[in-house]
Amino acid sequence: MIGKKKVSVQILIVIILILGVIWAGFPILWMFLNSFKPNAEIFAWPPTWISENFSFDAYKAIFSNPEQVRFFVNSYVIAGLVVIVTLIVGIMASYAFSRFNFPGKGLINTIIVSVQAVPPITLLIPYISLIVTLRLYNTYGALILTYLVFTLPYCILMTTGYFNTLPKELDEAVMIDGGSRWKALWKILVPTAIPGLVSVGMYTFMQAWNEYLFALALTKTNDMRTVPVGINLLMGQHAYEWNQMMAMSVLGSLPILVLFLFFQKYFIAGMTAGSVKN
Amino acid sequence: MKKKTVMKKVLSIGLASAMVLSLAACGSEKKEDEKKQEGDSSGVTLEFQQWWGVELPDGALQKICDDFTKDTGIQIELLSNPYADTKTQIAAGAAAGTMADVVGLDGAWVYDFAKQGSISNLTELMKEDGYDDSQLSDQIKYEGNTYMIPVVNFAYPLYVNMDILEKAGVSEIPATWSEFLAALDKIKNNTDAAGFSIPLSTEAPNGIQNQFMTWLWASGGSMLKDGAPNLEGNKDLAKVVDFVKEMKDKGYIADGAEAMKEQDMVNEFENGRLAFMVDGISHLTLIKEESPDLNFDYAKMPVMDGYEGESGMDVANWGIGIAENCENKKEAMQFVEYLMSPEVNAELAQLANAFPGNANANPDYSQNDELFKKAFEIFQSGYATNEFTGLPTSEDLMRSFNEQLVLYLDGDTASVDEMLGAAQKAWEPAFE
Amino acid sequence: MNQTAGKGKKDILKRQATPYVYLLPTVVLMFILLVIPILMVIRYSFYDNVIINKNPVFVGLQNYKAVLSDPNFLVAIRNTLFFVIVSIIAHLIIGMVFALVLNTRYLGDKTKGIFRVIYALPWMFTASVIAILWRMMLNPNGVINYLITSMNLVNDNISFLASRDIALKAVTLINIWSGYPFYMISILAGLQGISTDLYEASALDGANAVQTYFRITVPQLKPILISLLMLDFVWTLQQFALIWMTTGGGPVNATETISTYIYKQGFTKYQYSMASTGAVILLIVCTIIGIFYVRQQRSGD
C-alpha cells in the first residue's frame, strides 16, 4: 500500500519535472537555436531546429564590434556598483527598521512600499530634468543612482525581515562588551545574514543588468550604454538583426547564470530571509 | 563616542560613493565644458541624433560627417537611438533640455514637436542664412513655417512574389482592384501563401498609412479636406474600407494582422508565404541579402476600377530638424544645408536606396539594383504623397483609425459609414 | 549628579537619534531621487496640459474626472485586474509546485541543483527580449503553432496575439512565464527554514501529506508569501514593456492596461497631465496596499 503510494508520488514528480523543463526551458532553447540561424530562416515554416546554415556569425559580429563589447563592460560596472551601494545603504536602513522603534517608522515604511507603484514611464520627464540639474546626465552616476533608488525598497524589505529573524541578544552581546552598534551590525549581524544578503544582491544585480527605459533616457552616447539598450539598437526602422539580438540576449544572461550557479547554495538558503521568523 | 564613529563611518561611506559618482561624471562633463569655451564655428561640436546609421552601410554616415568637419571645422557627434524609442526620447529630451542639436525626424512627429516648441523654425534660419529653399523638394510645415526638411524619401510600391503568382496561374500583375481580387482568389485556391498583408499592430500603427491609406492615395483619393479630417461620408475612403473588408472576409489577408508590424510582414514575404505587400524600397537590399532566391518584382499599386488619373505613391522620409535649445543654430543650419546639398544628398539617397530630398540632386543609381531602377520609374510616373505628415498627433490618429478599422473588419461595426463616422469623431479633437 | 542626569539625557537623545542616522542615506536618496519626481508628477495631475503648454493652468480635480470617466480607462482597469490577479495566482501556484517538487527527498542534491537553474532561467532576461522571443514563438507561423498543429491539438494556426479573445490571455501567459521564478526561489528558501520538528510532530499525529501541507507548511510560509504577493502586486500593476512590445495594447483595446493607457496619453497624445493623473491613481492604490502591509507586519511582530 505505502510502496504503491510512493511510486505514484515519484511518477507525479517526474511528470512535473518534465513539464517544468519544457515550460521554463523551451523558450530559452528556441532563443539559443535562433542565435545560430541566418535572419530569414528564423521565420521559416516549418521551423528548423538546427539550421543547415548553422553559424557563429551573430556572435562573431558582437565580439568584433567594440561598441557592443563596451555595452557589456558598462553593464558589469554599473550593476556591480549598484549591488555594493544598495547593500551598504539598505543594510543600514534595515538595521534601523529591525532594531528600533521610532516615530515615523510606519510612515517611512509605507512610503518605501508605495513609491514602487509609480510607473517609471511617468517619472521619465521629471527624472531626466533632475539628473540634468545634478549634472549627472550621460554618466555612470546617473544610472547607478537611479537603479539604487529602484532596488533599495526591495532590499530594505527583505533585509529587515532577515534581521528580524536574528535574536537581538546577538548584537546586544557585542555592545555589552563595549563594541559600538556600528561594529555589532557589520561584525556580527551582517556575517550571520550573508546568505540572505547574497540573494538580495543577486536580485539587485539582475534588476540593474536588465533595466532598459532609464538606461536609454539618461544616456546619449553609446559608450555609456548598457546591454539592454544594445539589444534594442539592433531593431532598426527597416531591419531587425534577429540572430544578433538572440545572441546578445544569450550572452547577456550568461553572467547572471554564472553568478546564480556560484551563489546557489546561499541564494536558496538565503531567500528564507525575507520573512520567516524564528 | 559611539555616535561619532557612526557619523564618521556614514560620512566616509557617503564621501566615497560621492567620489565614485563624481569621477564617473567627470568623463563626460569635460566635453561639455570644452564645447562652451570655444566661440566661433570651428571647434563647435554638434550632436546629431538619428537612427539612420544602422540602416546605411557601416561607417557611411560617419564618413559623410567627417567630410563636413574637414570643410568647416565643426565637429559632428553621431548619437543613435533605437528607432522605436526615438520619438519618446525626443519628447522627453525636449522637456528636460537634453535634446541633441540636430535630430532625425519622421514627418508624423513634426506637428507635435513644433507645437511643443522643441524644434526650431527653419524658415527663419534659412532666411538668416540666405538659403535658397526652392531646391528642396518638400518642407514640412507647422502654421506656415518649416520645421522639418525631408533628407531622403522612401517610396512604397507594391512588392510581388512572382513565383507565387506563377504557381497560382496569375499571368499578369493586376492593375485594378478587381484584377487584384481575382489574383488573390487564385492564390488562395492554388497555393498555401497568403495574398496580401496589412500590419495592424497598435504598438506601431503605421500600417494605416503605408498599407491601408496607400490604396486611397493611389486612386487619387484624400482623407483630408482643407487640412481637416474628411472621413465621414468620404465615398472613396468607404470603397477602400470595403475593399479591404472583402479581402479579409474572403481570407486573402495573412493571419495575425492585428498583432503584425511592418517587419513581421517582411519576414512573411521573405519566406515566400506572401504574394503581395506594400512596403518601402528601403527593404530591397535586406530582402535580397536575406532571401537571395526569392523571385520578386515591383509594380504600381492597383487602382480603383475605372480610375485613370495620376496615382499618389506613399512615401516615408528621413527628415531633419534643429532643436530649439540648440546653442549653435547657425552651425546646425550649416550642417543641414550640407546634408541637403546636391552632391551629399545624392550620395545619401544612393546609399539608402532612396530618392533625394534636393530636387537638383542627381544620384548615380548605376550601382544600385535593377529592381531599384524599376521602382524609381514607377515613382516618377506618379506623385509622392503622405497625408499623415505634419498632422497633429499623427501616430494617435493612425492608432484610433486602426481600432475602428479592426472593429469593422471583425464585424463589430454595422456599416462602413458608422465606422468612418466613429473614426471622424476620434480624429476631430486633435484638429481643434 | 548633575553630570549623570545630563549624561542620561544625552544617552536617551542619542538612542533616539541613532535610527535616523542609519536611515539617513536611504531617506536622502529616496527623497531626492524618487519623492521629488513623484511630487512633480502629482503636481502635474492638477494642471492643464503641462509641458506642452508653457503656462499651465490649475484645474483642480478635472483631470481625475476626465480619466475616471474615460471608457478606455475603465477597460484598462478591467484588463489590468485580470492581468494582475491571474498573474499573481499563477505565479504563486507554479512557484509553489516547483518549490515543493525541488524540496522532496526523492531527488539528489545535484539533480535539484540542475533543475533549480533551469526553472530559474526565465528570470535572466530583460523585458524587451522576452517580448521579442514570445512574439516570435506565438506568431501564426511560429514554433508554437507548428508544435500544436503537428500534434493535431488544433487544425488551424492560431493568431494568439492578434485575436481580441486570446490576446490578453496570451500576454498574461508571457508575464506568468517571466515572473514565477521569483516565487519559486523565495518559497524554496522558505521551505528550508521550516524546522523538521514540526513535520515530525505532525507525522506523529498521523496527519497525511495534504494535512501537513496546510497545517504546517502554509502557516510557516505565510509571512514570506505575504511579502511576495505584495511586491508582485505592485510590480505587475505597472508592467509596461512586456505588454507594449507584444501587442501595444491592442487589438483595438483588448490588452490595454493602465500602464499602456498612461504611455499613450503621455507620449502619443502628449497629454502629460492625464498620464500623471493615471500614475497618481496607481500610486493611491499602492499606498493603500502599503498601509495594509505595514499594519500586517506590525501585528506580526
Q: Evaluate if residue A201 carries a pLDDT over 50.
A: yes
Asked if B259 contacts C161 with a C-beta cutoff of 8 angstroms, the reply is: yes
3-state class (DSSP) for residue B148: strand
Name the phi and psi angles at A13, rounded to 5.
Answer: -65, -45
Other C-beta atoms closer than 10 Å to the C-beta of C107 total 18
CATH topology of domain C72-300: MetI-like fold (1.10.3720)
The dihedral built from the CA positions of residue A24, A26, A27 and A32, taken in this order, carries a sign that is positive
Instruction: Look at strands B102-105 and B312-322 and give their pairing.
Output: antiparallel
CB contact under 8 A, B7 and C167: no
- Give how far A238 is from chain B: nearest CA, Å: 6
3-state class (DSSP) for residue B275: coil
Name the phi and psi angles at A237, rounded to 5.
Answer: -70, -40
Asked if A208 contacts A82 with a C-beta cutoff of 8 angstroms, the reply is: yes
Interchain CB contact of A45 with B (< 8 Å)? yes
CA–CA dist A1, A20 (Å, integer): 29
Which residue of chain A has the CA closest to B318? A237
Interchain CB contact of B279 with A (< 8 Å)? no
CA–CA dist C30, C38 (Å, integer): 11
CB-nearest to A216 from B17, B89, B95 is: B89
CA–CA dist A161, C222 (Å, integer): 13
**What amino acid occupies position B272?**
G
Q: Give the whole-number percent of chain A exceeding pLDDT 90.
A: 29
CB contact under 8 A, C14 and B402: no
B221 backbone φψ class: left, alpha, beta (φ>0; ψ -120 to 50)? beta
What is the average pLDDT across A148-164? Answer: 86
Which residue of chain C has the CA closest to A275? C224
Q: Which chain C positions have a beta carbon within 8 Å of B91's beta carbon?
A: 267, 270
The distance from CA B302 to its chain's CA centroid, rounded to whole angstroms, is 23
Other C-beta atoms closer than 10 Å to the C-beta of A270 total 26
Q: Which chain C positions have a beta carbon within 8 Å of A180's beta carbon?
A: none
What pLDDT is stored for residue B65 in this prediction?
A: 95
Name the phi and psi angles at A253, rounded to 5.
Answer: -85, -20
Domains B40-153+317-367 and B158-299+392-431 share a fold: yes
pLDDT digits (tens, 9 = 90+) for A7-63: 888 888 899 999 999 999 999 999 999 999 988 888 888 888 888 888 898 999 889
The dihedral built from the CA positions of residue C26, C28, C29 and C31, taken in this order, carries a sign that is positive
Q: Give the whole-number percent of chain C exceeding pLDDT 90.
A: 42
Q: Which chains touch A (3 or more CB pairs under 8 A)?
A: B, C
- Give how far B185 is from chain A: nearest CA, Å: 22
C-alpha cell recorded at residue A261: 550557479
B158-299+392-431 homologous superfamily: Periplasmic binding protein-like II (3.40.190.10)
Q: Which chain B positions have a beta carbon within 8 Å of A52's beta carbon?
A: none
β-partners of residue B194 are B274
Report ipTM for this prediction. 0.86
CA–CA dist A125, B16 (Å, integer): 29
CATH topology of domain B40-153+317-367: D-Maltodextrin-Binding Protein; domain 2 (3.40.190)
Q: Which chain B positions have a beta carbon within 8 Å of C244's beta carbon?
A: 203
Instruction: Look at strands B383-385 and B312-322 and give their pairing.
Output: parallel
B16 or A141: which carries more pLDDT confidence? A141
Residue-level pLDDT, tens digit, chain B, 432 residues: 454 555 555 445 544 444 444 444 444 444 444 444 444 566 799 999 998 887 888 889 999 999 999 999 999 999 988 888 888 888 888 888 889 999 999 988 999 899 888 999 999 999 998 998 899 988 999 999 999 999 999 999 999 999 999 999 999 999 999 999 999 999 999 999 999 999 999 988 989 999 999 999 999 999 999 989 999 999 999 999 999 999 999 999 999 999 999 989 999 999 999 999 999 888 888 888 889 999 999 999 999 999 999 999 999 889 999 999 899 999 999 999 999 999 999 999 999 888 899 989 888 888 888 888 888 888 888 898 999 998 999 999 999 999 999 999 999 999 999 999 999 999 999 998
**What amino acid occupies position C272?**
Y
Asked if B255 contacts B273 with a C-beta cutoff of 8 angstroms, the reply is: no
Name the phi and psi angles at C126, rounded to 5.
Answer: -75, 155
C-alpha cell recorded at residue C147: 508544435
The distance from CA B133 to its chain's CA centroid, rounded to whole angstroms, is 22
β-partners of residue C58 are C47
Give the pLDDT band (50/70/90) at residue C300. Answer: low
**A77 in a domain, yes or no?**
yes
Which residue of chain C has the CA closest to B399? C252
What pLDDT is stored for residue B37 in this prediction?
A: 45
CB-nearest to B256 from C162, C252, C264 is: C162
Q: Which chain A positions have a beta carbon within 8 Å of B28's beta carbon?
A: 137-139, 221, 224
Asked if B111 contacts B79 with a C-beta cutoff of 8 angstroms, the reply is: no
CB contact under 8 A, B406 and C253: no
Give the domain CATH number at A178: 1.10.3720.10
What pLDDT is stored for residue A3 in this prediction?
A: 61
Of B232, B159, B162, B167, nearest to B378 (Cα)?
A: B159
Residue for grid cell 507548511: C217
C-alpha cell recorded at residue B90: 525626443
pLDDT digits (tens, 9 = 90+) for A125-138: 888 889 988 999 99
Q: Which chain B positions have a beta carbon within 8 Å of A144's beta carbon?
A: 20-21, 24
Q: Which chains touch C (3 or more CB pairs under 8 A)?
A: A, B
Asked if C37 contacts C272 with a C-beta cutoff of 8 angstroms, the reply is: no
C-alpha cell recorded at residue B173: 500583375
Cis check for the bond before C251: say yes or no (omega within 30 of 0). Answer: yes
pLDDT digits (tens, 9 = 90+) for A19-35: 999 999 999 999 999 99
- Give how far A168 is from chain C: nearest CA, Å: 13
**Residues belonging to chain C:** 301
Asked if A153 contacts A89 with a C-beta cutoff of 8 angstroms, the reply is: no
| B and C: number of Cβ contacts within 8 A | 97
Q: Give the whole-number percent of chain C exceeding pLDDT 70.
A: 95
* A105, C284, C292 from C295: Cα distances, Å: 12, 17, 5
CA–CA dist B216, B237 (Å, integer): 6
Domain ranges for chain C, please list them.
72-300
What pLDDT is stored for residue A270 in this prediction?
A: 44
Rg from Cα positions in chain B: 25
Asked if B315 contacts B305 with a C-beta cutoff of 8 angstroms, the reply is: no
CB contact under 8 A, B98 and A132: yes
Asked if B61 contacts B102 with a C-beta cutoff of 8 angstroms, the reply is: no
3-state class (DSSP) for residue B46: strand
CB contact under 8 A, B6 and C162: no
pLDDT digits (tens, 9 = 90+) for C247-263: 999 899 999 999 999 99
Q: Which chains touch B (3 or more CB pairs under 8 A)?
A: A, C
Burial label for C165, CB within 10 Å (0-12, 13-18, 19+), is exposed
Which residue of chain A has the CA closest to B284? A238
3-state class (DSSP) for residue C97: helix
Q: Give the whole-number percent of chain A exceeding pLDDT 70.
A: 93
Residue ranges of E strands in B227-307: 228-229, 276-278, 296-299
Of A233, A215, A232, A222, nearest to A143 (Cα)?
A: A215
Burial label for A198, CB within 10 Å (0-12, 13-18, 19+), is buried
What pLDDT is stored for residue B319 in this prediction?
A: 94
C-alpha cell recorded at residue A157: 524589505
Interchain CB contact of B97 with C (< 8 Å)? no
Report the mean per-residue pLDDT for chain C. 87
What pLDDT is stored for residue A193 in this prediction?
A: 80
CB contact under 8 A, C253 and B264: no
Cis check for the bond before B429: say yes or no (omega within 30 of 0). Answer: no
Domain ranges for chain B, please list them.
40-153+317-367, 158-299+392-431
Residue for grid cell 479636406: B225
**A142 in a domain, yes or no?**
yes
Per-state percent for chain B, helix, strand, coil, to nearest 5: 55, 15, 30
Under 8 Å CB-to-CB from C262, ≥6 apart: which residues?
A: A119, A121, A122, C275, C278, C279
A277 or B357: which carries more pLDDT confidence? B357
Under 8 Å CB-to-CB from B273, ≥6 apart: which residues?
A: A45, B192, B193, B194, B254, C141
pTM of the model: 0.88
What is the average pLDDT across C99-118? Answer: 85
- Number of domains into which chain A is organized: 1
CB contact under 8 A, B255 and C162: yes
* A43, C34, C72, C195, C270 from C265: Cα distances, Å: 34, 22, 11, 52, 6
Asked if C189 contacts A203 with a C-beta cutoff of 8 angstroms, the reply is: no
C-alpha cell recorded at residue C108: 539528489
Asked if B114 contacts B147 with a C-beta cutoff of 8 angstroms, the reply is: yes
- Give how far A224 is from chain B: nearest CA, Å: 9
Q: Which chain C positions have a beta carbon within 8 Å of A274's beta carbon?
A: 186, 223-224, 227
* Alpha-helical regions (H) of chain A: 2-34, 57-63, 66-99, 105-114, 120-133, 140-165, 168-176, 181-183, 190-192, 194-210, 213-217, 227-233, 242-270
Per-state percent for chain C, helix, strand, coil, to nearest 5: 75, 0, 25
Report the mean per-residue pLDDT for chain A. 85
Asked if B222 contacts B392 with a C-beta cutoff of 8 angstroms, the reply is: no
CA–CA dist B148, B111 (Å, integer): 10
pLDDT digits (tens, 9 = 90+) for C150-205: 998 888 889 999 999 999 999 999 999 999 998 888 788 778 777 778 888 888 88
